[in-house]
């Protein structure tokens, strides 16, 4: 697939978006209470190979607000790991396992025509270690 035909994923769309009432910040600024973090993602669906089926992210190498879908036909594909983390921090949860559907859709290369919703899904396991109260 040529660069011209490459469909943008969720992280691409987010990166190019401009927000009126908020700003994009680093992981440390967004989650100062998190000392360490492990996110395990297992993706199932179109375009998923043995190499990218299971991915693990740590705090030091965090992917950003979104984890992208592997489906090459999917536009705006992936899911928001940021929203999962914000909800966990709000509830002070340390462990979570959940399933997330891809938010994208299969369509024309520039995303103008929608053919169908992307059918890929993600099994997500998150483990958070919080900083001690006096470290914050």
Q: Mean pLDDT over residues 81-109, rounded?
A: 93
- The pLDDT confidence band at residue 24, using thresholds 50, 70 and 90, is low
Is it the case that residue 43 has pLDDT exceeding 90?
Answer: yes
Three-state SS annotation for 51-93:
CCCEEEEEHHHCCCCEEECCCCCEECEEEEHHHHHHHHHHHCC
**The model's pTM:** 0.80
What pLDDT does 69 receive?
94
CA distances, 54 to each of 12, 14, 39, 76 (Å): 21, 23, 11, 20
- The predicted-structure confidence for 62-86, as pLDDT tens digits, reads as follows 888 899 999 998 988 999 999 999 9
- The predicted-structure confidence for 121-131, as pLDDT tens digits, reads as follows 999 999 999 99
Radius of gyration of the chain (CA): 16
Whole-number mean pLDDT of the chain? 85
What pLDDT does 112 receive?
75
- Distance in Å from the first CA to the final CA of the chain: 47
Judge whether 35 and 129 are in contact, CB under 8 Å. yes
CA distances, 83 to each of 31, 46, 133, 134 (Å): 12, 24, 23, 26
Identify the bridge partners of residue 97 per DSSP, sorted by sequence position: 125
Segments making up each domain of the chain, as ranges: 28-135
Q: For residues 89 and 75, which has the higher predicted lDDT (pLDDT)?
A: 89
């Amino acid at each position: 697939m040529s660069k011209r035909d490459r469909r943008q994923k969720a992280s691409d769309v987010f990166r190019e978006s401009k927000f009126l009432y908020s700003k994009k910040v680093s992981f440390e600024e967004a989650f100062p209470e998190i000392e360490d973090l492990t996110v395990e993602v297992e993706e199932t669906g179109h375009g998923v190979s043995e190499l990218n089926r299971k991915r693990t992210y740590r705090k030091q190498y965090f992917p950003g607000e979104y984890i992208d879908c592997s489906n090459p036909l999917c536009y705006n594909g992936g899911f928001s790991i940021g929203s999962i983390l914000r909800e966990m921090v709000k509830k002070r949860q340390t462990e979570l396992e959940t399933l997330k559907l891809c938010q994208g859709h299969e369509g024309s290369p520039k995303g103008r025509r929608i053919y169908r919703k992307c059918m890929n899904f993600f099994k997500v396991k998150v483990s958070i270690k919080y900083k001690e109260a006096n470290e914050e």
